[in-house]
Amino acid sequence: MEGAAYVTAEIASVETSGEDSTPNPVPDRVRRTGRIVRWHFIVAAVFLLVSVFAGAYAALELVFPQLNGGVQILTYGRLVPMATAAFLYGWLTIGFLGAAYFVVPRLAGVHLRRPFVAAMSLILIAGGVADGTLAIGAGLSEGRRYLEMPLLADIVVLIGFVLAAWAVTATAAHAKERLGPPTWYFVGGLWWLCLAWFAGNLPGIAGFNGAIQTSFFRASITGLWFVAAGVGVAYYLVPRLVGADPRSSSRLSVLGFWSLALIWTATGARDFIYGPGPDWFETLGVGFSIALVVPVLVIFVDLGLALRGRWSDITDRVTMRFVTAGAFMLLLVPLVNLLQTVRSSSGVVQYTQWLTAYDYLLFFGALTVLVFGIAYRALNNDRAPARSGAAIWHLRYSLIGLSIALFGMWLGGLQAGFIWAAGSNSGTNTSTGDGFINTAVPLETAFGLRAIGIVVFALAQLLFVFNAFRTSDEDDGAEPDTLSEPPEYDLLFGGEAQTISWTRLRYGAVLLFGLAALFAWLLPSLDPINTTGTLLGDNVRVYAEGSAEAEGRALYLSEGCWYCHTQAVRGIVTDVGLGPISLSGDYVHENPILLGVERLGPDLMHVGSREGTDSYRFVFAHLQDPRESRPWSNMPSYSYLSEAEIDVLTQYIIGLE
């Protein structure tokens, strides 16, 4: 059975049986699926524009800190997590869901089986992310990277994720005996997304164990959902562009699927290189970061073999440019991750702009470009973009902007790391107080390049919205496919073709997540060193409920101060002069733990013990107008806070001893 006749018969048999007995309802169902796909990309595009322009404004504030104009929601510490939530869970997640609703029905040979469920999922996810993003702007951030949205918004979003997974799974189940790599990644990735979201949002985990939970969530949702969905898109587009069957699979396909998911999840420990916590946990992150190169190479070899001898058969070279650009950047990701993880280089680039550059390369680069590619195809009925020239210009300007931003961040990261190390070796203060001018001034060029690149990238997305939706046809967006049966033999290795059965996909995905959670989250959390308090943790960093220090810490969290200031001292030359080395027991009573992201400003772990910043009067005045005492500072002014709020924030800061 093959060709259009086979698919028509399959659809007819489904549509005229069971609860759906209306004669020949296929056209209406096809149009309904097309509308679901279209609306997912429309909503995703709205989040894209909001997030990239918010991120561009935040980047400009590093160059012109007065841009916030005294508006609380426009400060860097609030804009960055707002933009991150909107981008990851609004743009990328909803965009990949649109891709799943387009790809899986086509490969299963049926319309979307639960269109109402998919529509409700979109409403819940979009509403939850929008409310959660606004809540962050209102100062209700949870203070955990990628998990800043309040718990109520997280619950709403989780329900939406479960509904989406249900809709995609019900559709894929129609072709359970002949699944292909795109279906593996979308079905498995969606249930992994639900599990990771649930695990990451479990409340009440304090101290360093809370940091382990957060790092596990970031690694899981990155590898098990975002990257998995991106690879699923690639596995659909590459064969389609050369006229092959996306359902075909091989031993490499199977190996790449299981190994990518398992290994990526265990790389979360790289966040703690030279940091607090047991050494064996750091080694775990290093080992799996090295191993991450293998599954990525396996996937790219497998996709490359699909193109072998078929370059002349490519029917849509515009979309192939998107796939090639996204694939190339995805190939770079494990290499950049490795540079940030290996101890010799981590000592230089950790807590610098390299960490942000990694996120931009993966999320703004590789994954976003793949979403662009599938969006253009889906909105043009799996054909080349109707405005191909405009699509190429969109890709070109996006890559130009991203390249400028990445160069600025990589340059700034190297500058900062070497300046700190050189300052420690020479006895020059480059890391704290007035001496931070030796770090801040040289970084002005890097901040400028970063801002220019992000602004160019943001403006390029206006072209995407104009190009993608101007010529799309919602009635044709997701017509079931007419592919013949995939080959029965593995063309590369010989023998019977390899695939993943429906049973192995469902139960194997859950088992894999359980194993990853056990080794990368639960076992490290059982180490007693994480819950054994130190003198600092038991006597200094304990804040009675209702005290000025507790209120100041809550304000520090809501204002996003931890995005620019770390609270961790590492046992390396770069951190000499910052105070005693941080141990996991120093944070045993803190929830959330505020280790920080980047050192755009000085580390504050022991700021209350340093000359100058141990002065209440100085810190109070500095919060009101940072450039009065330090004209070179790019810290935002908190003059919009009341004197009482600045008072408690000051007391918290000078109490960090």
Angle at 481 (CA atoms; ends 477, 484), nearest 5 degrees: 165
Distance (Å, rounded) from C-alpha 262 to C-alpha 227?
A: 12
Is residue 485 within a helix (H) or strand (E), and if so which, with residue range? none
Number of Cβ atoms within 10 Å of the Cβ of 558? 18
Q: What is the pTM of this model?
A: 0.92
pLDDT at 70: 81
Cis peptide before 278 (omega within 30 of 0): no
Q: Range with the lowest mean pLDDT among 133-142, 206-215, 448-457, 469-478?
A: 469-478
Cα distance from N-terminal residue to C-terminal residue, the chain = 74
Higher pLDDT, 485 or 174: 174
Q: Which two tokens stand for residue 219?
A: 């690694």
pLDDT at 20: 42
Q: Enumerate residues 6+ apart whose C-beta is below 8 A from 349.
A: 339, 340, 355, 413, 414, 417
Torsion sign across C-alpha atoms 487, 489, 490, 491: negative
DSSP-based three-state secondary structure for 496: strand
Q: 91 burial class (0-12, 13-18, 19+ CB within 10 angstroms)?
A: buried
Q: Enumerate residues 6+ apart whose C-beta is below 8 A from 599.
A: 351, 352, 416, 431, 564, 565, 566
Q: Is the pLDDT of residue 307 over 50?
A: yes
pLDDT at 332: 95
Q: Please state, for a pLDDT cut of 70, what percent of the chain lies above it.
A: 91
DSSP-based three-state secondary structure for 171: helix
Distance (Å, rounded) from C-alpha 98 to C-alpha 180?
A: 18
Q: Does domain 3-525 have CATH number 2.60.40.10?
A: no
DSSP per residue over 559-616, as a string?
A: TTGGGT------SSGGGTTS-SPP-GGGGTT-SS----S--SS---TTGGGSTTTT-H
For all residues of the chain together, what is the average pLDDT? Answer: 88
Distance (Å, rounded) from C-alpha 261 to C-alpha 514?
A: 12
Q: Enumerate residues 6+ apart whose C-beta is below 8 A from 190.
A: 100, 161, 164, 165, 168, 169, 225
pLDDT at 600: 93
Q: Which two tokens stand for residue 461?
A: 């997305």
pLDDT at 487: 54
Nearest one of 196, 189, 307, 323 to 258, comparing CA atoms: 189
Cβ pair 471, 380 in contact under 8 A: yes
Higher pLDDT, 494 or 315: 315
